[in-house]
Structure 1
Amino acid sequence: MSRPDPAIRVVLIHGSDTGLISERAAGFAKTILGKNDDPFALVRLDSSEIAGDPGRLADEANTIALFGGTRAIWVKVSGNRPIQAAVEAVLAAPPQDAWIVLEAGDIKKGVGLRKICENARGAAAIACYADNDAALDRLIDSELQEAKLSIEPDARALLRSLLGADRLASRSEVAKLCLYALGTGTIDIDAVRAVVGDAGASATDEAVDAAALGDAAGLDKAFRRILGSGTAAFVVANAALRHFHLLHRIKAAAEDGMPQSTAIERYAGGIFFQRKGKLEQQLRIWTADRLLMALERLDGAIFDSRLKANIADEVIGQALLAVTMLARARR
């Protein structure tokens, strides 16, 4: 995805690793846009908007950029709102200066959008599943190289064992470890034990839960404490993104007829038991549509924080507060 193929104008990014899907979608959109700073060059849509107006996707894809250059139409595919017809219409008459990025969840082979994008000449499908050891080593090495650090073999083995379920979560943990070890030259096993896993997770969970519950004071207190400890703001943003994906998955399953208790057990069975009460309270506050609004806000903040690293903490802080206000309005 480092050099988009002009012959492929629709890219479906799907799978079970929501963090990796979000990371690749954001990275691909950034590659498409390059140095284009036109605020209208990136268009974010939800599948519900396209399902309600099937011609919207083709219209956006064929709109000429005001200041020239390429455009990216980033579509978050969620729920059971079919958009296959809209995607097929774009493939029948591909745009010249735009790419469609479809960010979806796990899709079975030979079904829906995956079938279309795997078989169409002008489309591609990229699957994102939990990282294996080799992929985790590449992720660890990329973060270490950027921080100018090395890691002892036993520390690497322990770190690898604590990662893997979600790419964004894994990257956040390694970045947090690098911040902790900055200036030491080498990361040892004690540093991994001190930082990765449960250490520091309670403050992040506290900030995320405060945002989801509409508790602005609680968010401010937890967020300030996290930044004061030297942890980067994107660690909280990534945790919030994963949590709101979880809320939306449970809400969508419940709206499709699954009992909410069953949906919680299926999708959040591994969550710390003391958070389950808060999770149930959050599900009473949020609707599926408002969860999509929150996800879009968090997605945008993470993307913007990468483009504006010097004000990343402020960008993410404002997004978390905006999400908190959405929850407070429902309360």
Structure 2
Amino acid sequence: MAQKKAGEVEAFLSQPDFSFSLVLVYGPDSGLVAERSAKLAKNFGVEPSDPFAAVTLSADELEKDIGRLFDEAKALSLLGGKRLVRVRGAGAGRALSDAIGELSGEKLEDTLVIVEAGDLKKSAGLRLNAERGRHAMALPCYQDEGRALDQMIDEELSNAGLSMDRDARDALKARLGADRIASRGEVKKLCLYALGAPTVTEEDVAAIVGDVSADALDEAIDAAASGEVKRLPHLIDRLATAGTPTFQLHQTLLRYFQQLQALREGVERRGEPVGRAIDRRRPHFRRRPAMESALAAWTLSAIDARLQAIESDILASRKDAGLALTITHRTLMDTAVEAARLRARGRG
């Protein structure tokens, strides 16, 4: 079986074996998958943006016309030389899985097919077919942790001619998100900020690297609970790009409404003013307006119904990991729409 363990992937990418003409790169971190796919293409010697030697295909489109993949994989470069075929967004599609099983059984001369996929279970057809193929290699990519994250930081520090002490490194790692590309961008920004200094300090990290993922998460939850329907899709996209796990979004929303329920009980059953209830919660001043709006709009019965809906969506997302992001997006948007409806009714 042609596959690498997660800890062996970087070594393979540094000295790739192109006797494997089809490579499946998969994992939950879309940024890391894209970065490693690009590194593999670079080492193969074909620029992905070269229209004469490279083509990028969508997995969704291939499910409608899988013959396109065979045509592109077996076509010759218009100017001669090597050819790169890159497939993005692969998942549970049956047509693509079967095609990969067929293509991985033959050697494609001067052609490399790179398939980028999300997190795949061991039983996933796409993963099984790639691992079993004589001329295919499967590369699992997981979130930046431990040595992999340190390696990326060291690369950027070395490129900038900088060093970093342990305290600064720990502070930096604590602020980086789950997405490799976003994390690398933050480290590059830090290096540019510290350029010319002998070393990167903890103060530099605090000054320039914001905990973007945490801030965006709070904004999204506040927007959903207070009914900011138009603003919410952008916030969800930011979180998805940063690689924020869907379970974290669901659990944070669930906890928020559990806290809102406790506060609303004081308002409805004890006659406590909304402002006083918020004072007891002591939210950050930036979150206070949204919380006041939410507490004033959501009744206990509406909160109960929303908690049941959130719990149902959490269960559904766990049963079907491939739809987890779609389900989470729906949960947040449904919450925002209901909040907006309640606010409008309260003003009426």
Give the TM interval when normalised to the shorter protein: 0.5 to 0.7
Choose from 181, 184, 201 the match for 1:168: 181
Change (3 A) 1:101 1:36: closer
Give CA-to-partner distance per residue, 1:190-221, whole Å, 9 cap, x none: 11111223379979x99xxxxxx999xxx9xx
Instruction: Within 5 Å, give how 1:141-160 maps onto structure 2.
Output: 141-160=154-173
Counterpart position of 1:64 = 76
Q: Among the aligned pairs, what percent are the same residue?
A: 40
Change (3 A) 1:176 1:38: closer
Change (3 A) 1:126 1:164: farther
Are positions 1:111 and 2:110 aligned together?
no
Counterpart position of 1:319 = none
Q: Is the 8 A contact 2:193 2:208 kept in 1?
A: yes
Counterpart position of 1:136 = 149
State the alpha-carbon separation in 1 of the partners of residues 81 and 128 from structure 2.
30
Counterpart position of 1:44 = 56
Secondary structure at 1:92 match in 2: coil
State the alpha-carbon separation in 1 of the partners of residues 335 and 198 from structure 2.
40
Choose from 275, 288, 313 the match for 1:262: 313
Secondary structure at 2:104 match in 1: helix
Secondary structure at 1:141 match in 2: helix
Counterpart position of 1:31 = 43
Secondary structure at 1:177 match in 2: helix
State the alpha-carbon separation in 2 of the partners of residues 131 and 52 from structure 1.
34
Counterpart position of 1:54 = 66
Give the deviation of 1:131 after TM superposition: 2.0
Change (3 A) 1:245 1:30: farther
State the alpha-carbon separation in 1 of the partners of residues 243 and 133 from structure 2.
32
Instruction: Within 5 Å, give how 1:1-331 maps onto structure 2.
Output: 1-34=13-46, 38-78=50-90, 80-82=92-94, 83-163=96-176, 165-198=178-211, 242=241, 262=313, 267=325
Q: Is the 8 A contact 2:213 2:244 kept in 1?
A: no
Give CA-to-partner distance per residue, 1:98-155, whole Å, 9 cap, x none: 1110100000013211111112221111111112222221111100011111112211
Change (3 A) 1:279 1:25: farther
Give the deviation of 1:267 after TM superposition: 4.3
The code of the aligned residue for 1:116 comes to: N
Change (3 A) 1:280 1:86: farther
Give the deviation of 1:244 after TM superposition: 10
State the alpha-carbon separation in 1 of the partners of residues 41 and 110 from structure 2.
13
Counterpart position of 2:276 = none
Change (3 A) 1:202 1:130: closer
User: TM-score, normalization: structure 2?
Assistant: 0.58
Q: Is the 8 A contact 1:15 1:105 kept in 2?
A: yes
State the alpha-carbon separation in 1 of the partners of residues 327 and 172 from structure 2.
24
Change (3 A) 1:279 1:34: farther
Q: Is the 8 A contact 2:313 2:328 kept in 1?
A: no
State the alpha-carbon separation in 1 of the partners of residues 174 and 98 from structure 2.
43
State the alpha-carbon separation in 2 of the partners of residues 110 and 200 from structure 1.
32
Q: Is the 8 A contact 1:50 1:86 kept in 2?
A: no
Could you tell me which runs of 5 or more consecutive residues in structure 1 were left unpaired when the two chains were aligned: 207-212, 220-237, 251-258, 282-331
Secondary structure at 2:187 match in 1: helix
Q: Is the 8 A contact 1:176 1:195 kept in 2?
A: yes
User: TM-score, normalization: structure 1?
Assistant: 0.61
